[in-house]
Amino acid sequence: MIPYVTQTLQNPELALKLAVRCDLPGAEELFVRKFNLLFGNGNYAEAAKVAATAPQGILRTPQTIQKFQQCPHTGGGPSPLLQYFGILLDQGQLNKYETLELCRPVLAQGRKQLLEKWLTEGKLECTEELGDLVRPHDVNVALSVYLRGNVPHKVVQCFAETGQFDKIILYAKKVNFEPDYLFQLRQVLRSNPEMGAKFAQMLVSEGENEPLADINQIVGCFEEVQAVQPCTSFLLEVLKSDKESEGHLQTKLLEMNLLYAPQVADAILGNQMFHHYDRATIGQLCEKAGLLQRALEHFTDLYDIKRTVVHTQHLKPDWLVNYFGQLSVEDSLECLKAMLQTNMRQNLQIVVQIATKYHEQLTTHALIDLFESFKSYEGLFYFLGSIVNFSQDPEVHFKYIQAATRTGQIKEVERICRESNCYEAERVKNYLKEAKLTDQLPLIIVCDRHDMVHDLVLYLYRNNLQKYIEVFVQKVNPARLPIVVGGLLDVDCSEDAIKQLIINTRGKFDIDELVDEVEKRNSFRLKLLAPWLEMRVQEGTVDPATHNALAKIYIDANNNPERFLRENPYYDSRIVGKYCEKRDPHFACLAYERGQCDAELFQVCNENSLFKNLARYLVKRRDFPLWAQVLAEDNQHRRQLIDQVQFLFLHMDIFSVIRNFFI
């Protein structure tokens, strides 16, 4: 039609109008000619209208835009290019090229709202290029462009960039698009690792039957950018089911944190979330990271355990003590040995705690040998000190005394020697003597408790430790004075020293025993007791023991014994009489008569033919049953006694005899 109107009817104006109104082909040359004419005359507004209204967009080309861009702007009003774009916008939607050329200056001027308005009104052709142009200015507007322009891979990128990961998956399913999820993940991780972790979780959880991307490759993406914390968050969520098939990922998670965030790894291990990782590998990494407690929890080889356990400064004491409860007896002893060997000063206290708690399992004797092998008497002292009060093992008590001695804990040596009933007294005594302590009180206590006083006295005297003899009888046990004196006599101690010791001892002791101890050595040595005994008598002492001793002394010294025996009312007649029997039977008779010791008197008189003394005693006693007893027919000395009685009567005045019987 247009060629007909133009050529046949010779009416180009009508042809132009019909072509514009009906968008008919055939008038292309007319429009081009008219556009060029107007443009050449500088009538840019009319030229723009022609270009905008030309049928089938024959003039809406990049070349037309370029012409308007090259037009000089004379000022006053919009530029020819903007006039052109304005006419195009009024007519409808811009094409791809127009859209790009319009939006570039608009965005450069910061007038993004105009672009959003045109998008809303559908004035722009949405293409990937437009989206790329807008994206640096506003990713959400770019997302809108990509959606309208059906650019799936860019839509996915924008969703990822804005954190709308759920929409990525929904969009991909909707448009049947398979994004390169790993590529998108890498992009997100480079700009926002935290958002990347969320995206990674969705890639695993949103798959219908399996993850949308391989978990190992996802982890690799995190590793590429060293995003340890986001990767940790991702794996903690993904691996929370603790599946055996995911053991290698559990190992990877722990490895990563042990290398870059040991405290996080420590917390994960502490929560006991995973049970299928490579324990040997993780144990070694824990050791390198300084997490020695965790390393020990994973080690099973004794060599590894010994290498680690010696660093007690990095381990909690309570935990370490409990840890030894998991080891065998042999391994425990080996580890304790290694701890002492590496740093005894640092590790001794914890070794003692472990030994104390597990001494029954490890055996006390093995632990004693352990401490002694290192000559650690301090450790042995503290170890045995914690169990000695509950043990009845003589070896434990002896070793405790030994350790306390060697560490200078003399007060504790005294205590255990005083309170313990389990040690072997002879062994302890010999050890204390060999130890040559500056304080002999422990030895004194042992000898006193176990009746080894005589041996004690000999040792102290021969080693010039006489002051401890004084301490013993004056402060520890005065009752032992008799045995002490006996011992001093055995070593030929001076009598003056013994006398002074006796005088200075104010505590109670058995005087009879003292006299007996002196008398056993030599009865003549009783005289050394005389000053002390006489002093006691002067003080008013009336106990028989004192007076018995004086009687013996006076008898041996022939110091007017008859007077003492007759006049002293306090001595024991039987004891003194018995003492006199072999010395002087007459003195024995005096003692027995004074105490009316009838049987003893009869015996000594019969044995020594002192019938005269006996007759005189019988007359004096005036006891008819006693007469009947001594004059019994079975008394072989009856005749001699009767003769002495008759002789006595013949030489006595009859009235005196009668008076003796009846008065």
Answer for the pair 445, 413: CB distance below 8 angstroms, yes or no: no
Widest CA span of the chain, in angstroms?
218
Give the Å distances, CA to CA, from 330 to 302, 327, 339, 537: 10, 8, 14, 72
Which residues does 509 contact at the CB level (< 8 Å), separation at least 6? 473, 478, 479, 480, 481, 482
* Tokens 């000695």 belong to residue: 388
Answer for the pair 544, 570: CB distance below 8 angstroms, yes or no: yes
CA–CA gap between residue 237 and residue 218 (Å, rounded): 14
For residue 70, what pLDDT is reported?
Answer: 80
For 257-280, give the secondary structure using H, E and C: HHHHCHHHHHHHHHCCCCCCCCHH
For residue 26, what pLDDT is reported?
Answer: 45
Answer for the pair 430, 450: CB distance below 8 angstroms, yes or no: no
For residue 322, what pLDDT is reported?
Answer: 96
DSSP letter string over 50-105?
Answer: HHHHSGGGTT-SHHHHHHHHHS---SSS--HHHHHHHHHHHHS---HHHHHHHHHH
pLDDT digits (tens, 9 = 90+) for 66-103: 888 887 766 666 778 888 888 888 888 888 998 898 89
Nearest one of 263, 367, 350, 355 to 310, comparing CA atoms: 350
CA–CA gap between residue 528 and residue 368 (Å, rounded): 52
CA–CA gap between residue 28 and residue 193 (Å, rounded): 57
CA–CA gap between residue 519 and residue 374 (Å, rounded): 54
Burial (Cβ within 10 Å: 0-12, 13-18, ≥19) of residue 261: middle
CA–CA gap between residue 458 and residue 374 (Å, rounded): 36
Residues in the chain: 663
Dihedral-angle region of residue 507 (phi above 0 means left; psi in -120 to 50 means alpha; beta otherwise): beta
Residue numbers of the chain with a pLDDT score lower than 50: 5-7, 10-11, 15, 20, 22, 24, 26-27, 655, 663
pLDDT digits (tens, 9 = 90+) for 485-522: 999 999 999 989 999 999 899 888 888 888 888 888 87
CA–CA gap between residue 406 and residue 197 (Å, rounded): 65
